[in-house]
Every structure is written in C-alpha cells, then in structure tokens.
Amino acid sequence: MGIRTTEGQGKLYSSILDTIGNTPTVRVNNIAPDHVDVYVKFEAFNPGGSVKDRLAVNIIESAERDGRLKPGQTVVEATSGNTGIGLAMVCAAKGYPLVVTMADSFSVERRRLMRFLGAKVVLTPRALKGFGMYVKAKELAATNGWFLASQFETPDNADIHQNTTANEILADFEGERLDYLVTGYGTGGTVSGIGRVLRTSRPETKIILTEPANSAIVASGYVNTRNEENQPTESHPSFEPHPIQGWTPDFIPYVLQEALDGSYYDELLPVAGPDGISWSRRLAAEEGIFTGISGGSTFAIAMQIAETAPEGSAILVMLPDTGERYLSTPLFEGIAEDMTDEEATISLSTPSAQMGSE
C-alpha cells in the first residue's frame, strides 16, 4: 500500500453550516460476522458532531424563509443535548440568541458545549423527565415571544432527512446491495425521512427500528395524547429512565408518528443499555470508530440481525454522534484517568521520566 494522499474538497465553504451532511459510510472490518457486509453511516462527521446538525439548520433556515423567525429573535428548544448543540452552532453562525431547556440528568459536557457555543442552558428537574423540559421551553416561548424550534413536531425535521440523509444513502449504495437499515429514534426524523425514500426507491431494504428495552414506548402500543399543535400533553406511562441519551423521550413525538402510521419499519427490536455501551466500546477499541451509547445500541441490534441474515447481506447502521458527548456517563466508567498497573509496568521498563520521581 502506497502513502495516502488527499486532494481537498475542490471548493471553498462560505459558512460552517455548508459542511453539514455528506457524512461517510464506512465498512466495519473486524467485529462484524464474515458472512455479511456491515457499514455505518457516521454522523459524527457533521461539524457539530451529530446527526442533529441536519435538523437544526433546516429548522432555522425554513423558519427564515417563511418569516416565522425574525432577525435577532431568540430561539428556544427542549433537548437532551445534540439538537441543542446543533442549534447553538447554527444560531452562532447566523446571529440568533439561543436558550435551551434540558433535564439535569443529561451529561454535563453537553450543557457545557452549548454554553461554549454561546447558548443559555436552563436546567429542569430530572424527576419531571423530558416532558418537564418540553413544557418549560413552551412556557418560555409564549412568555417572551421567542421562536420555539419544535423539533418533535415540525415537518422541517423529517424533510431534511428525506432530502439529504436518504439521498446520500441512495448514492452510496447505488448498484450495491442494501438489505437492512438499522436506526433508533429520538424525534423520529431520521426514520421518517429515510423511510419515505427507501420505501419507494429501495423497497427491498428492510428498515429495523430499535428502542430501549426498559423504555419500549412504541412497543407498548399506547400513543400519548397531543394537542391541536401536535405537541404532547402527557408523559408516556411506559417510559422509564434509560442510559441511551438522545433516544426515546417520555412521549412519542409527532415526527415519529409518521413512521408508525406509514409502516416505515419492518421490525421493532428492543436493546438493553449495557449492550449499547459494550458495542460502543468495541467499535472504538477494535474498529477505531468512536460513537456514543446510541450508536453502540443501534450497532448492537445490527449484530443481532446479522446472526440470521442471509449470506452476503449488506447492513447499514446509523451512528448518530461522537462518543465525546458521553465522558461523564456510564460509557466511560472504568476508564482510568491515571496509569493502570499495566501502564505503570510499561513505564518502569525504561529508566527515564518516571511519575513520582524528583
């Protein structure tokens, strides 16, 4: 193999926002079964580090086009983190103040990232779950005349996945097999947007949807009540706290309802949080692919599908974000800050630069 070379993008970007999308599809070489081809669509390559950059830019630009968002108006949104980070990046680039409401159960690094990008973060009690931070955002918008981003209801969410994510998948697999696509859900924009396209353009592709095993709200069969604006009016009774941050708020979002009503998925499979953590760690240590618990959880289901998939099947796994969003979560439990005994032994094998020496 010769030395690697690069050629540049062949163009100059006028804004960081123009780099959103066109994320790579990457083959998994070491931990996938030999009889199938497994690929990941690695959304951490977005400039804000997650798939939510896509909906963030479309929500803002769509609202600019139709006049719902006024110049200099404050944007407010409830988020577990990634949408807030994406919105913070977009609002910073476009000059809008941003206020995020977020339950205090989500990782500290997420709120610090949003503040670093110029946003204000209003924390809500974890006991009130996602519905609590959602109601807080609605109150702040109504009281102050702010623009509510409405990621859980707006058609701008699934639309961007139809027009970008799905098109990228079609282009990457043109002339190639694509037997399975595996994804989880937070707002549901990914599965709804991609489902619209694959159901017509690649009807042979089976779409596998997954949710936390201990918070299987879709599998419960109960749909929470909504108001005339399609906003949830209650916390889902089947919701339980789970470690897969970004997945499954304590209500079924209206954006996801399209995928449920339209049968955009072929199978719904539960995944346990510890399995997601385990596979995220394996992707990092054995493939060099650094994704969070949500990505590990999606990959766990892909490995389950792979066990019985026919010879030569191609499986595409959506990896929503980077593992750096999870430094203070169970994903990094047991990862030492100081040297392990093995590392200390390596250090002692040569005489120089010993820790603790004068």
Catalytic residues: 52, 294
Strand partners, 252: none
Measured at the alpha carbon of residue 93, what is the angle toward residues 88 and 99, in degrees to the nearest 5?
A: 30
Measured at the alpha carbon of residue 162, what is the angle toward residues 259 and 217, in degrees to the nearest 5?
A: 25
CA distances from 175 to 34, 75, 163, 199, 306 (A): 21, 42, 20, 17, 21
Query: What are the φ and ψ backbone dihedral angles of 329, each rounded to 5 degrees?
Result: -105, 175
Q: Do the beta carbons of residue 320 and residue 292 sit within 8 Å? A: yes
The tokens describing 329, both together, are 């979560």
CA distance 261 to 269: 17
Q: Do the beta carbons of residue 315 and residue 302 sit within 8 Å? A: yes
Amino acid at 112: R
The tokens describing 123, both together, are 């924390």
Closest CA to 315 of 154, 147, 183: 183
118 Cβ contact list (under 8 Å, min separation 6): 88, 91, 92, 98
CA distance 158 to 178: 21
Q: Report CA 109 to chain centroid distance, whole Å.
A: 16
Please name the residue ranges forming H helices in 309-350: 341-348
The tokens describing 317, both together, are 């796994």
Measured at the alpha carbon of residue 44, what is the angle toward residues 40 and 46, in degrees to the nearest 5?
A: 115
The tokens describing 77, both together, are 């949104």
Q: Is 244 left (phi over 0), alpha (psi -120 to 50) or beta?
A: beta
